[in-house]
Structure 1
Amino acid sequence: MEVLGVIGVALIAVLCIAALLFLVLVAMNIIDLSKVSLVVLAAFLGLVLLAGAIWAFLDIVDLT
């Protein structure tokens, strides 16, 4: 069960880094939000929500 916790934390870290990178690219005007489709924004929001769900699961379930 400890391996599941490590994998979950690693997945949360990757998703958070991807979210921060996306926000930085938008802030630097490298990614123009007017040209980004709603599908891409929905997928990005889904990844952020997935990270939150994994975080909540790991917080509720004691994996130690």
Structure 2
Amino acid sequence: MSERHFIVHQSDAGWQYTFMGTITGPFKSRQDAIDAAIEAARGEDSDCEVVVQDSDMRRETVWRADRKG
């Protein structure tokens, strides 16, 4: 995993993402949170990625800066 990553996860209030200690959200759906995190990640100057973390703390990378997708 990249050192700079956006983590999308579900909270009591809904879906949100965190980046460098800042929480952004809530979002109505998982996909809304992922889309917002990817948009924010694209604005970063360095290599970073978006990771979805489930309630069991398993992580799945859904976007990397080098993929540009």
Larger radius of gyration: 1
The higher-RCO structure (CA 8 Å, 6+ apart) is 1
Identify, as 1 or 2, the structure richer in strand: 2
Which structure shows the higher helix fraction? Answer: 1
